[in-house]
Structure 1
Amino acid sequence: MSSYGEPATRRDSGRPGTEGPGHRGRARRETRRAIVVAARTGLATRGVLYVLVGLLALQVAFGDTGEEADRSGALATLADRSYGSVLVWAVGIGLVAMALWRLSEAVFGATGPDGRKATKRASSAARAVFYGVLAYSVLAFAAGRKQNRSGDEQSRDLTARVMDAPAGPWLVGAVGCGIAIGGIVIAVQAARRTFREDMDTAALPEWARTAVDTVGVVGGLARGAVFTAAGGFLVYAAAAYDPAKARGVDDTLRAFAETPAGPWLLVAVAAGLLLFGVFSWAMAVWRRV
């Protein structure tokens, strides 16, 4: 009670600028709205990159060895279009939004009953770092600081520097195992359709839900295959103590064409990555945030 006999909360809430419950409620709503926008923007941007990488990988499978089938190739493809600079800046900003969304999950917790668990928060924090680094590289590209080396060369150079450090081969091998296991987890989760738990598609007709399931499963399997293969090459490089055995995304995709299945396996993986980009757009619309 105040000295005038009325509740203090009532008196304070009437003053301009004071932080009453109404102000806190509005702040929470604005924060939530910003997180939703960041999530949907980031997922849509991720979709753009995967669609471009998938298209570039299809071109490689059919004999076109122009652009690399990875992030740098995707950015170069965008930069060559009308208003290319604007498009590349937009991708960089979208990836910043993705990093901020994942950071918010690490701080406040993700959606779902397990969203506040330490493992979920740690996973979101790792994703925030990953997308933060990716956003920095894209924005650097947009600002004109283009890399003279390909993504595969950068991957081998980084592997060589790590392997020269104490216990370097063990560290490279551990990272490779982590990436490969992550790829297997991505593929298994896609096959089990666990993404349904994060999406609100109840209002969609049956055919639309089936389409979302299809692109989610096929796209997730292809994405998991690329991660698993890339991790396997890192483990191989560590075991052979040869950084040249490490492969970036482009070389990893080309390795699928070197299998007995020939370029058709690369076609299947490339089409899957393209579909994962489409699935990311679906997630941008119907993901629960």
Structure 2
Amino acid sequence: MNTRVLARAGRAEARRANGSVTEGAARAGLTARGVIYLLVGVLALQIAFGDGERQADRGGALAELADKPFGAVLLWALGIGLVGMALWRLSEALFGAAGKDGRKPKKRLLATARCAFYTFVAYSVLSFAASRNNSGGSSDQQSRDVTARLLEAPAGQWLVGAAGAAIVVVGVGMGVRAVLRKYHDKLKLGRMSPGIRRLVDVTGVGGGAARGLVFAVAGAFAVRAAVDAEPHRAKGLDDTLRTFADTPLGPWLLVCVAAGLVLFGVFSFAMARWRRV
């Protein structure tokens, strides 16, 4: 009997330890995501006001961070944080996410896709930290290169069109969920003061809507590239953001979107603090 009790206690302790590691990885990853969005938003604001010299994408954000005091340390910390994000999503794919629906196949498939995405992002950040060379090129060039390769494949236009449409749907979904405040389901709202909850809602709604808009517009450009069979019509994050300044509203629309990305960065920090994992 004592042996069984000890065994159960050992398993419970192992689960608690594993939970602590997963939680730490998740919070580090959300913090790293916040840093990237914050920097991209600031770079986009600089472009809107006419003094932006860097690409408003992940590469530009990393270059900006590298120029800061202790830049190398910050880059490695960012990369390790993103590794944590990938491991957290892997854990969700294997064992299920927090919440009553966390073990459903749909949730696990989504977690798998997120794991793959953040694995790539973490690899690119760590590669940059090791070499200080953004050898992968800008997001714009990467988008054009990938689109060109896909268009050359059998049924390439359909593949690019489907991918672009999927990105549009994802972007619209992001925006709608943000406006409806669906993120409340993932937060420890009871531990927040009223002032903090208001701040989280401002950053969550504004930031999530801006992020969703950027994704949807980038997806629309991919669909156009597929229809016209012209890879150069596909746009990465930097070109997509610059497009907002070319509308009748001028640079002010870019200012609003860029400010929204800054808000999403702040929201990611709030998620790192109060998200249920």
TM-score grouping bracket, smaller chain normalisation: over 0.9
Does 2:91 align with 1:99? Answer: no
Q: What is aligned with 1:169?
A: 157
Distance between the aligned counterparts of 2:109 and 2:250, measured in 1? 39
Kept in 1: contact 2:30–2:269 (CA 8 A): yes
- The Cα of 1:205 is off from its aligned counterpart by 2.3
1:150 counterpart (138, 161, 173): 138
Distance between the aligned counterparts of 2:169 and 2:4, measured in 1? 55
Distance between the aligned counterparts of 1:11 and 1:283, measured in 2? 41
Q: What is aligned with 1:185?
A: 173
Q: Secondary structure at the match of 2:41?
A: helix
Tell me the percent identity. Answer: 55
Question: Which stretches of structure 1, 4 residues or longer, exceed 6 Å deviation after superposition?
Answer: none
Does 2:245 align with 1:253? Answer: no
Structure 1: 5+ residue stretches without partners: 1-8, 15-19
Q: Secondary structure at the match of 2:189?
A: coil
TM-score calculated relative to the size of structure 2: 0.97
- Pairs within 5 Å for 1:108-127: 108-127=95-114
1:38 counterpart (8, 15, 25): 25
Q: What is aligned with 1:222?
A: 210
Does 2:191 align with 1:203? Answer: yes
Kept in 1: contact 2:44–2:52 (CA 8 A): no
Kept in 1: contact 2:66–2:75 (CA 8 A): yes
Q: Deviations over 1:35-67 (max 9, x none)?
A: 110111100110000000000000000012301
Q: Secondary structure at the match of 1:238?
A: helix
- The Cα of 1:146 is off from its aligned counterpart by 2.9
- The Cα of 1:160 is off from its aligned counterpart by 0.5
Q: Which amino acid aligns with 1:27?
A: A
Q: What is aligned with 1:57?
A: 44
Q: What is aligned with 1:10?
A: 2
Q: Secondary structure at the match of 1:81?
A: coil
Kept in 1: contact 2:59–2:134 (CA 8 A): no
Distance between the aligned counterparts of 2:200 and 2:62, measured in 1? 27
Q: Secondary structure at the match of 2:22?
A: helix
- The Cα of 1:169 is off from its aligned counterpart by 1.3
Q: Deviations over 1:226-277 (max 9, x none)?
A: 0000000000000000000000000000001011111000000000000000
- The Cα of 1:21 is off from its aligned counterpart by 1.5
Q: CA RMSD in A?
A: 1.3
Q: Secondary structure at the match of 1:179?
A: helix
Distance between the aligned counterparts of 1:201 and 1:148, measured in 2? 40
Distance between the aligned counterparts of 2:88 and 2:79, measured in 1? 14
Q: Which amino acid aligns with 1:150?
A: S
- The Cα of 1:155 is off from its aligned counterpart by 1.3
Does 2:62 align with 1:75? Answer: yes
- The Cα of 1:107 is off from its aligned counterpart by 1.0
Which structure has the greater CA radius of gyration?
Answer: 1
Does 2:76 align with 1:84? Answer: no
Structure (1 or 2) with the greater helix fraction:
2
Alignment: residue pair count: 276
Distance between the aligned counterparts of 1:162 and 1:64, measured in 2? 35
- The Cα of 1:91 is off from its aligned counterpart by 0.9
Q: Secondary structure at the match of 2:169?
A: helix
Does 2:257 align with 1:276? Answer: no
Distance between the aligned counterparts of 1:54 and 1:281, measured in 2? 15
Q: What is aligned with 2:273?
A: 285
- The Cα of 1:11 is off from its aligned counterpart by 4.7
Greater displacement, 137-146 / 120-129: 137-146
Q: What is aligned with 1:132?
A: 119
Kept in 1: contact 2:222–2:235 (CA 8 A): yes
> CA 1:33–1:243 in structure 2 vs 1: closer, same or farther (change >3 Å)?
same
Structure 2: 5+ residue stretches without partners: none
TM-score calculated relative to the size of structure 1: 0.93
Distance between the aligned counterparts of 2:3 and 2:49, measured in 1? 73
- The Cα of 1:186 is off from its aligned counterpart by 0.2
- The Cα of 1:10 is off from its aligned counterpart by 2.9
Distance between the aligned counterparts of 2:112 and 2:136, measured in 1? 30
